[in-house]
Chain A
């Protein structure tokens, strides 16, 4: 029993020790710092995925019951991305139901941990007579696949119930609809709450139309109580700044999605504003278009220094870094322009151009670098000029012409930046400043002489294409030509050097060629039954095939040399020795003897000769 206990204690100790010293345990005891991750990647990964698989198509009338001549919204809603929905250009309806395209947009709604795209197409419908109007089902393409928009009916009755007529719509208004080009104006989009007091928040508010720009940095959202329909109603208000950029009649509409209780950080709620809870019902609402009349700025009466400032502005007294200067010392002049009232395009205000002066070098002003919303909030924009006195005679900074257009009076107003007194002592102009002044002077002289120069009398430098050679597809191919040439040269050089180091390769190759030549001659002689020529060609063949192995001049070899070579490495049969001797004998006799040699017997030995020469050829490879 005791033994068992001690054994258990030993096992437990071993287990505990292993656990303590194991890397996993030490890792657990010392928590490792988490690896640093890209915050943008984290943000992206934290977003729910967008659901693109489940597509549903719905349609409805809002409201579904109207009086004849009243407007209602025919709304087609698809749970898919807007760009993937292909609607037919026209929807077939009865002629007594006027149907015009209205707003359309897309929003991502959160459901079950996913983002589901919701695309809405509004049509403004207006029935001219009472009855039931049916918009039959029709086909659309979503992600390239055919889907069906279900049919829906509209009841048009002369006296509908009040509740049936409740239609939510946006209200768009401007403080003034007569504007000048470039004049900023506050646009206010309102969504009145229900008579019970609840209000919906708006998302993706957009002003649609042509020839204007919207300043997104000036957006303000609030939920005040405003009069509507004869009583005070809690209302969602979205305000932004609109600037027309072309003259004429401009139609502006607003559109937005209702987002229930989705509160944005910039929202200001004053008083009591019940906001419905639960999941938001995203509905695309739109306003009636508002027409703005935009006039161009008058040309007459324009004052110097006008840089597009429209509104009512005042100038703070300009400030200098210091009033005591030396010639050549730069000084900073700060000018603050304040707006009076709404409608001034302060954040878009450009500083007036630097004046030309003999006594001052005025560098181009640096505009206010603060964000537009900060400029609008602080109510002024600051410009900074850098001035350099060129003479000790100056007593004040130069006046800088500046003006703005006041839309209330329809006239330009002067806002010239006044001179600031300074005292300037003598000093030397720096070399860099002198260079700058000379360059500026040269540039201004050159610019003064600018004018349109005449025609070229001939086409001049031409090309086949404006695309440069280096971007043409043939250019890399052309570069392959010299590259191939150099590679070929390099390869040839390597081969040459190798052969120089191994000359036997070249000798063997030449010997093989000569052997084949003589072998061919021997066969031809055999066919012609010319024994002497056959023997001579055979001997020559044996000599050229044996010469590289000594090395020696082939003509200097005799039969014994060939026999010796054939004997090296393998046993030479007697008939081979005899064969070589016979051929050499006949060849020598035919060459040196006075009488003709009898070589006819050798013609019968062609097969043996072929075997012999094959062996010699094999030794050359």
Chain B
């Protein structure tokens, strides 16, 4: 059989095999690392469940937080919110439920808990613009997937028949138009996701909203734990925020806030 293979083709086939092997190796490494993360995250999650059921809300919250730091998940964040609420931390609870809905807006339990907490603590929900409301209809990553898929399907339906010399049919044009329409419709949602990333939740009780970014600055008002704010700019350890429907502006310390979408993508950052 070896004689049938031309000599010139042998190195090419060898390169192909090497490339395939390398690709499979990289995929295996990724899979092993992600499954390792997943396994340890699940273990911590189960420990959190046991602690919560035993009434140890502090250790339960720690476990759920650790699990969410390893692998952010909607259910984990929902449980983290429950644990924080049970131990009286209103701000972290509301933040965790908001993050749970950020990942999965179909999580009805987290949505219900959030409404319950806001009603109990007399706290307003974030004031959302219409495009931000649209962005809450689906999980944040879905918008990226839908936009990419619809755009490239539309491009394919426009270009491929000409390139591959298919006969142009109505359904090609219909699919292209549909793809473009879906892509354009996702744009406001993308902008909504982008602007919602600046949403933060006050995690400390009685957080002082200051006139200037200094410790001695005059206090404009006090913000309750769980109050939603919007980031305007950052200066050192202080962040300029806009709070509530009254559009209160002022500076608070970054450590007194939790962001819906931390810059590093991990909790507590």
Task: Please tell me if the beta carbons of B109 and A489 are within 8 angstroms of each other in the complex.
Answer: no
Q: A467-B261, A493-B162 are in contact. Are A453 and B72 (CB under 8 A)?
A: no
CA distance A492 to B164 in the complex (A): 11
A-side contacts of B220, CB under 8 Å: 213
CA distance A464 to B73 in the complex (A): 9
Bitwise, B87-108 to A at CB < 8 A (1) or not (0) is 0000000000001001110010
A-side contacts of B251, CB under 8 Å: none
Chain B residues close to A by CB (< 8 Å): 34, 38, 41-42, 45, 49, 52-53, 67, 71-76, 78-79, 82, 85, 99, 102-104, 107, 109, 112-113, 115-117, 119, 139-141, 143-145, 147-148, 152, 155-156, 159-160, 162-163, 190, 193-194, 197, 206, 208, 216, 218-222, 260-267
A460 and chain B: residue at smallest CB distance: B75
Contacts A463-B71, A466-B261 given; 6 further ones with Cβ under 8 A? Answer: A212-B219, A462-B73, A468-B143, A468-B144, A470-B194, A471-B193
Task: Please tell me if the beta carbons of B261 and A456 are within 8 angstroms of each other in the complex.
Answer: no
B143 and chain A: residue at smallest CB distance: A470
A-side contacts of B144, CB under 8 Å: 468-470, 475
A4 proximal to B (CB < 8 A): no
Interface residues of A in 483-509 (CB under 8 A from B): 486, 489-490, 492-493
* Least CB distance, B164 to chain A, in whole angstroms: 8
CA distance A164 to B143 in the complex (A): 75
Task: Please tell me if the beta carbons of B82 and A461 are within 8 angstroms of each other in the complex.
Answer: no
Task: Please tell me if the beta carbons of B219 and A490 are within 8 angstroms of each other in the complex.
Answer: no
Task: Please tell me if the beta carbons of A456 and B218 are within 8 angstroms of each other in the complex.
Answer: no
B-side contacts of A211, CB under 8 Å: 219
Task: Please tell me if the beta carbons of B49 and A462 are within 8 angstroms of each other in the complex.
Answer: no
* Least CB distance, B67 to chain A, in whole angstroms: 7
Task: Please tell me if the beta carbons of B67 and A459 are within 8 angstroms of each other in the complex.
Answer: yes
A-side contacts of B82, CB under 8 Å: 452, 454-455
B220 and chain A: residue at smallest CB distance: A213
Chain A residues close to B by CB (< 8 Å): 104, 206-208, 210-214, 245-246, 447, 450-471, 475, 478-479, 482, 486, 489-490, 492-493
Task: Please tell me if the beta carbons of A489 and B152 are within 8 angstroms of each other in the complex.
Answer: no
Task: Please tell me if the beta carbons of B73 and A469 are within 8 angstroms of each other in the complex.
Answer: no
Of A213, A453, A466, the residue contacting B219 (CB under 8 A) is: A213
B-side contacts of A245, CB under 8 Å: 206, 219, 221-222
Of A214, A452, A461, A492, the residue contacting B74 (CB under 8 A) is: A461
Task: Please tell me if the beta carbons of B159 and A486 are within 8 angstroms of each other in the complex.
Answer: yes
Task: Please tell me if the beta carbons of A452 and B116 are within 8 angstroms of each other in the complex.
Answer: yes
Task: Please tell me if the beta carbons of B194 and A471 are within 8 angstroms of each other in the complex.
Answer: yes
* Least CB distance, A145 to chain B, in whole angstroms: 21
CA distance A451 to B49 in the complex (A): 20
List 7 A-B residue pairs with CB atoms under 8 Å apart, sorted by A's residue number.
A213-B222, A452-B85, A463-B141, A466-B267, A470-B144, A471-B261, A486-B152
* Least CB distance, B23 to chain A, in whole angstroms: 15
B48 and chain A: residue at smallest CB distance: A455
CA distance A384 to B70 in the complex (A): 52
Task: Please tell me if the beta carbons of B265 and A486 are within 8 angstroms of each other in the complex.
Answer: no
CA distance A471 to B52 in the complex (A): 34
Task: Please tell me if the beta carbons of B52 and A467 are within 8 angstroms of each other in the complex.
Answer: no
B162 and chain A: residue at smallest CB distance: A493
CA distance A462 to B109 in the complex (A): 16
B-side contacts of A453, CB under 8 Å: 109, 112-113
Of A207, A465, A475, A479, the residue contacting B266 (CB under 8 A) is: A465
* Least CB distance, B243 to chain A, in whole angstroms: 14
A494 and chain B: residue at smallest CB distance: B163
CA distance A210 to B215 in the complex (A): 10
Task: Please tell me if the beta carbons of A456 and B78 are within 8 angstroms of each other in the complex.
Answer: yes
A-side contacts of B264, CB under 8 Å: 465, 467
A-side contacts of B49, CB under 8 Å: 455, 457
CA distance A245 to B117 in the complex (A): 23
B52 and chain A: residue at smallest CB distance: A455
A455 and chain B: residue at smallest CB distance: B79
Task: Please tell me if the beta carbons of A459 and B73 are within 8 angstroms of each other in the complex.
Answer: yes
* Least CB distance, B10 to chain A, in whole angstroms: 21
CA distance A462 to B67 in the complex (A): 11
Task: Please tell me if the beta carbons of A470 and B147 are within 8 angstroms of each other in the complex.
Answer: yes
A-side contacts of B218, CB under 8 Å: 206-208, 214
Task: Please tell me if the beta carbons of B116 and A460 are within 8 angstroms of each other in the complex.
Answer: no
Task: Please tell me if the beta carbons of A489 and B261 are within 8 angstroms of each other in the complex.
Answer: no
Q: A450-B112, A467-B261, A479-B148 are in contact. Are A461 and B266 (CB under 8 A)?
A: no
Of B42, B107, B116, B262, the residue contacting A466 (CB under 8 A) is: B262
CA distance A76 to B236 in the complex (A): 26
Chain A CB within 10 Å — which of B72, B194, B267 has the most? B72
Task: Please tell me if the beta carbons of B159 and A459 are within 8 angstroms of each other in the complex.
Answer: no
Task: Please tell me if the beta carbons of B193 and A470 are within 8 angstroms of each other in the complex.
Answer: yes
Chain B CB within 10 Å — which of A447, A450, A456 has the most? A456
A-side contacts of B115, CB under 8 Å: 447, 450
Of A206, A447, A463, A482, the residue contacting B72 (CB under 8 A) is: A463
Task: Please tell me if the beta carbons of A447 and B119 are within 8 angstroms of each other in the complex.
Answer: yes
Task: Please tell me if the beta carbons of A466 and B75 are within 8 angstroms of each other in the complex.
Answer: no
* Least CB distance, A466 to chain B, in whole angstroms: 5
Task: Please tell me if the beta carbons of A490 and B159 are within 8 angstroms of each other in the complex.
Answer: yes
Task: Please tell me if the beta carbons of B116 and A459 are within 8 angstroms of each other in the complex.
Answer: no
B-side contacts of A454, CB under 8 Å: 82, 109
Task: Please tell me if the beta carbons of A461 and B103 are within 8 angstroms of each other in the complex.
Answer: yes
Task: Please tell me if the beta carbons of A458 and B75 are within 8 angstroms of each other in the complex.
Answer: yes
* Least CB distance, B135 to chain A, in whole angstroms: 9
B155 and chain A: residue at smallest CB distance: A486
Task: Please tell me if the beta carbons of A468 and B140 are within 8 angstroms of each other in the complex.
Answer: yes
Q: A246-B206, A453-B113 are in contact. Are A468 and B141 (CB under 8 A)?
A: yes
Q: A453-B113, A467-B261 are in contact. Are A490 and B163 (CB under 8 A)?
A: yes
Task: Please tell me if the beta carbons of A469 and B145 are within 8 angstroms of each other in the complex.
Answer: yes
Task: Please tell me if the beta carbons of B265 and A467 are within 8 angstroms of each other in the complex.
Answer: yes
* Least CB distance, B39 to chain A, in whole angstroms: 12
CA distance A208 to B219 in the complex (A): 9
CA distance A450 to B116 in the complex (A): 6
Task: Please tell me if the beta carbons of B159 and A460 are within 8 angstroms of each other in the complex.
Answer: no
CA distance A468 to B142 in the complex (A): 9
CA distance A462 to B99 in the complex (A): 12
CA distance A453 to B216 in the complex (A): 42
* Least CB distance, B48 to chain A, in whole angstroms: 9
CA distance A524 to B34 in the complex (A): 60
CA distance A493 to B161 in the complex (A): 11
Task: Please tell me if the beta carbons of B102 and A466 are within 8 angstroms of each other in the complex.
Answer: yes
Q: A213-B220, A466-B99 are in contact. Are A459 and B141 (CB under 8 A)?
A: no
B-side contacts of A470, CB under 8 Å: 143-144, 147, 190, 193-194
A-side contacts of B145, CB under 8 Å: 469
B-side contacts of A467, CB under 8 Å: 197, 261-265
B-side contacts of A452, CB under 8 Å: 82, 85, 113, 116-117
